[in-house]
Amino acid sequence: MNARLAIAVLLPFVACVVQWLLWDIFKPYAWFLFIPTVFLSAWVGGFVGGLVATVMGSLLAWYIFIPPVFSFSQDNPASVFSIVIFIFTGCLFSFFFDQLQRSKRRANEALATAESANEKTSQHYQKLKEAQRLASVGNWAWDIQSDTHIWSEEVYHIYGRDPALPPAIYPEVQEYFTPESWAELSAAVEKSLLEGVPYECDAEIVRPSNCPRRWIAARGKATRDVNGNIVNLQGTVQDITERKRVEQSLRESEERLAVIINSAMDGVITVDEQQRIRLFNPAAAEMFGLCTAEAIGQPLSRLIPERFHLAHADAIVNFAHTGMTARRMGGVGEINGIRANGQEFPIEASISQSVTTGGKFFTAILRDITERKQSQDEICRLNVDLEKRVYERTAELTAANRELDSFAYAVAHDLRAPLRAMSGFSHALEEDYGHQLQGEAMMFLEQIGLASRKMNDLIDGLLTLSRSTSGGLHYDLFDISALSQRLLVELAQSDHGRKMTVEVEAGLQARCDARMVEVVMRNLLSNAWKYTARVVEASIRVYAEERDNARFFCVADNGAGFDMAHANRLFKPFQRLHRQEEFPGIGIGLATVQRIVNRHAGAIEARGEPGKGAIFCFTLSDTPVELALDKKED
């Protein structure tokens, strides 16, 4: 039993006590307090509480207040009637109050449901507004019968209209459109009003002066009543400015691409997954001898020699499964095409694949390399011919040099005998008859002796030069640092009075002919020693430097140096840049050095400046010239 029912049951007893205490006042109205008590009990305890209070109240009033008191016997019909009326009234009160409570609860529930639905509707409306804002879509309605218009907030935003103003009615709304767009839109609206067909069109709108123009997608649909009359028009407005901008950019990009493809010097062909041609540019048409209209829709195999059909189909399938977007074709061999007249020709190609909503497409860029192949073949032929001529010329030159060296060697030897006779007779003349010779005669005899000695030196130089280009080369790992130190010691011993600073880099080694390279270093170091004779603090340095993927062995000094304008004369036989009185010599040393370096397939260079010294650097190859020529001949 809940509290409200308990109170409803107790109320008759409370009413009985109160009425008993005030009976002198209420007498003879036995039901005076019991009737409102039943009413109150029904309100508090509901239907059950009202029935219990009615039963309890009737029993209490019958037993205590209706004569005969304290007895349930009753002979008075009026008393019985009053008891029945009270019970009936109590039941009626209980029923009505129960129905009232039920109705109240249902009303409260309905009100709560309505409030919940209203809140959800409000939430949905806010979500709809947010969705419209995000999608830039607004909705509108036009009641034709009452000529009332309804705009959503996003419509105001799209048109740039003040939300405080009422919606712009039709056709006044045309002020927001360009003339061209309004002509198209108004025609669609009029048709929808007359025929009831929905419409959709793009239109350019004119916003206030401080807002840029925009594009919208206007959609509308008519609504009919039961009689088929059009009574309402409703639709949406969507801001498609960005889409229009993208479409415009895409159109411009497609136009530029079309111009590039159509003006390209290379053929451009696009095929679908079935290998049907979908794009065929003018260069491809010229290349294959087919017009574009004739090629579109044709299988790509029409452009490929029949013997390559199967291999080409497999290559395309394999490429499609690689996932690569592009690659160069022809890696497994030469690619050939076939013209409309059946002529085959070589091509160079690259292929790419792309996936679109229309499927997968393959694009090939082709280049006719017929002329290139012909040029390459011609170049190869010319190279072979040139190499043959160079080899023949080199062989002739080598033979001529050898003959020249042999001739020089023979001449030098043949000159020895008369030179010795001339020198011997002049010496005998001086010893036997020198006391009889006076004045110019004695001077002439001395000049004959001086010329004989110079001639002997020239013959020695010729022999040295000849030996530098004759004989085989024997390659071994040779220590150039040790050789340089030994030669410098010999030079110092031959010239005790010289003060010289010497620096030799350790670990200088090369594979070469030791005998020949000793001649090179002896000549370079002797020159450095000679041309530093007039320098107070003379210095000679032997070192190596890495340049152009080659190792240069260098001899540097701070001596007399030379003018680079005359450097081309340094390595020519008997050519000298200094007077004999300054620095004696015959001009054969550097020519010998160059020939030896050349025989080692190396190179020599010289840098200098008058009064600031000179630097001579040379390279040596592991493969001598004679061996290289022999290999080429093989």
Domain range annotation of the chain: 3-106, 136-246, 264-368, 390-445, 471-631
Inter-CA distances, 113 with 107, 117, 119, 124, 128, Å: 10, 6, 10, 16, 22
The pLDDT assigned to 411 comes to 59
3-state class (DSSP) for residue 219: strand
- The tokens of 455 are what? 């001639």
C-alpha closest to that of 285 among 339, 335, 329: 339
C-alpha closest to that of 198 among 217, 223, 172: 223
The 214-224 sheet, strands edge to edge:
148-151, 137-143, 230-239, 214-224, 199-205
- Find residue 126's DSSP bridge partners: none
3-state class (DSSP) for residue 118: helix
Q: What whole-number distance in Å separates Cα of residue 596 and Cα of residue 464?
A: 11
Tokens 């109170």 map to which residue? 7
- The tokens of 390 are what? 């160079």
CB of 176 closer than 8 Å to CB of 213:
no
CB of 32 closer than 8 Å to CB of 22:
no
3-state class (DSSP) for residue 437: coil
Q: What whole-number distance in Å separates Cα of residue 475 and Cα of residue 602?
A: 14
CB of 87 closer than 8 Å to CB of 57:
no
The pLDDT assigned to 7 comes to 84
Inter-CA distances, 150 with 129, 168, 182, 246, Å: 15, 9, 20, 31
Residue 574, phi-psi category: left (phi > 0), alpha (psi -120 to 50), beta (remainder):
left
The pLDDT assigned to 552 comes to 94
Chunked into runs of 10 residues, the chain (634 residues) has average pLDDT values of: 80 87 82 84 81 85 82 80 84 82 85 85 78 83 90 88 87 86 91 92 83 87 90 92 88 86 86 88 90 89 84 74 62 72 86 80 85 88 87 73 62 62 70 70 70 63 57 81 92 84 92 87 89 88 90 92 81 70 71 86 90 91 55 46
Q: How far is CA 567 from the centre of its chain?
A: 52
CATH 3.30.450.20 at 136-246, yes or no: yes
The pLDDT assigned to 483 comes to 93
CB of 298 closer than 8 Å to CB of 277:
yes
Strands 148-151 and 137-143: antiparallel
Tokens 């410098």 map to which residue? 488
Class of domain 264-368: alpha beta
Class of domain 471-631: alpha beta
- Find residue 185's DSSP bridge partners: none
Residue 516, phi-psi category: left (phi > 0), alpha (psi -120 to 50), beta (remainder):
alpha
Whether 136-246 and 264-368 share one fold: the answer is yes
List all residues 6 or more positions away from 435 whose beta carbon is below 8 Å from its beta carbon: none
Q: Angle at which helices 440-468 and 514-531 pack, to 10 degrees?
A: 140
Nearest-10 Cα torsion for 599, 604, 610, 613: -100
Strands 267-271 and 359-368: antiparallel
The pLDDT assigned to 632 comes to 45
Q: Which long-range contacts (CB under 8 A, 24 or more apart) does 203-211 make?
A: 203/177, 203/178, 204/177, 204/178, 204/180, 205/158, 205/159, 205/176, 205/177, 205/178, 205/181, 206/175, 206/176, 206/177, 206/178, 207/159, 207/160, 207/176, 208/160, 211/160
Backbone φ and ψ of 366, nearest 5°: -115, 145
The dihedral sign for the CA sequence 85, 87, 92, 93: positive
Cis peptide upstream of residue 28 (ω within 30 degrees of 0): yes
Q: What whole-number distance in Å separates Cα of residue 234 and Cα of residue 219?
A: 8
Q: What whole-number distance in Å separates Cα of residue 412 and Cα of residue 425?
A: 20
> What is the identity of the amino acid at 106?
R
Nearest-10 Cα torsion for 130, 133, 136, 141: 80
The pLDDT assigned to 187 comes to 92
Inter-CA distances, 151 with 122, 213, 586, Å: 17, 20, 112
